[in-house]
Amino acid sequence: MILMNDFKAEPPELREAMLGAARRVLESGWYVLGNEVVAFEKQWAVACGVDYAVGVGNGMDAIEIALRALDVGSGDEVITTPMTAFATVLAILRAGATPVLADINPETALLSIDSAARCVTPKTKALLLVHLYGQVRNMKAWLDFCAKHGIKLVEDCAQAHLATWQGKVAGSFGAAGAYSFYPTKNLGAPGDAGMLVTDDEAIAQRAGRLRNYGQSIRYHHPELGMNSRLDEIHAAMLAERMGWLPEFTERRRQIAKTYQMGIKNPKIRLLASPEESLAHVFHLYVITCEQRGALQAHLEQHQVQSHIHYPIPIHHQEPCRDIARDPQGLGNSERHATTCLSLPCHPQMTDSNVAAVIAAVNSFQGA
């Protein structure tokens, strides 16, 4: 079976480096928020081209902490997309703010700026832009949009590790960016981990407190925070894995390019290919098909695993049925949720794996 992810097939040198990192931490006798975290925070800040990075427990917390550090909370509305991981919207709710859902652009599955404009109210305080599937597009338009409406931009970079738009890295456009290092992400820990990035010293300092019970100096708690600290062992392993990220991202891009050229089936639509200004990192390679169920079964028969990102848009989730939204509805997101399918696109795939996926997709005839 060609899997969506295959950690066991990672290079043995990487395994060894991670084991070495684990040993280093165990022998240091310091396990939470120590030198490894500080070193990885510096490394990630430099990679993102920002001044500060704050290691936290996971990507969802990174979003919540970013919003709280920006004073976005009760009574404030945050515009975002229904085509995302549940965590995006849950983080807004946990910050005490009100999510408002705008529709997507069907060509890219990213937030539609026209729909977002219809969602702006006097209570709108932030836009939470999700760089879905690894693509950072159209940032000038989004920065202009936020400036025009006087709202903060927060970037959900969980799927866009070091993706760029006109050479600038995801997370460096807005007031803050939130990364997840969940194992399946382009840079993933063997467990949960996350990072907030920002150029603003005050936001970084507040995030540093919020992740640690709201503590300013030891045993002093000027505000209520949470426990969302990054472990030394994860920071140490992530630092090792980071050395492999450029090569792994390049492999994802090659696979995506081969799919883009090789998939030729009238029943299948590819999402818009990257423009020149965009360095897509292909966390996921997503196609759409009206007969998605039949296609997925066909792929399975041909030993190709596939997943759906995402089968249920946020407003169809039980706790979110009454969530505020674009008055014109969220039709594009609903359609995408019934047709999208993610094909395997990870750095451990061989050329023959890629060819086998293309052959399986192209041999689908449907009803």
Return residues touching ligand PLP (CB under 6 A). Answer: 58-60, 84-85, 87-88, 130, 156, 158-159, 180, 182, 192, 194
- Closest Cα partner for 159 from 140, 145, 179, 176? 179
- Cα separation, 172 vs 136, in Å, equals 11
Distance CA 271, CA 337 (A): 14
Least gap, CB of 174 to ligand PLP (angstroms): 14
Nearer to ligand PLP, 111 or 278 (CB): 111
Distance CA 97, CA 66 (A): 12
Which residue, 47 or 284, has its beta carbon nearer to ligand PLP? 284
Can you tell me the distance from the alpha carbon of 270 to that of 160, in angstroms, rounded to the nearest whole number? Answer: 19
Q: Name the phi and psi angles at 109, rounded to 5.
A: 70, 10
Shortest approach of ligand PLP to residue 154 CB, angstroms?
11
The number of C-alpha atoms within 13 Å of 72 and in the hemisphere containing its C-beta is: 30
Compute the least distance from the CB of residue 237 to ligand PLP, in Å. Answer: 15
Pick 230 or 354: Cβ nearer ligand PLP = 230
DSSP one-letter code for 212: B
Sign of CA dihedral 58, 63, 68, 69: positive
Give least dist CB 197 to ligand PLP, A: 14
Position closest to ligand PLP via CB: 59
Q: Exposed, middle or buried, 348 (CB in 10 Å: 0-12/13-18/19+)? A: middle
Q: Which one, 226 or 263, has the nearer CB to ligand PLP?
A: 226
Residue 365 CB, nearest approach to ligand PLP (Å): 33
Tell the smallest beta-carbon distance from residue 31 to ligand PLP (Å): 20
Q: Nearer Cβ to ligand PLP, position 81 or 353? A: 81
Give the residue with the Cβ less far from ligand PLP, 87 or 299.
87
Distance of CA 124 to the CA centre of its chain: 23
Measured from the CB atom, the residue of 58 and 164 that comes closer to ligand PLP is 58
In whole angstroms, the minimum distance from the beta carbon of 178 to ligand PLP comes to 7
**Residues 6+ away with beta carbon under 8 Å from 79:** 99, 100, 101, 102, 111, 116, 119, 120, 124, 126, 127, 128, 151
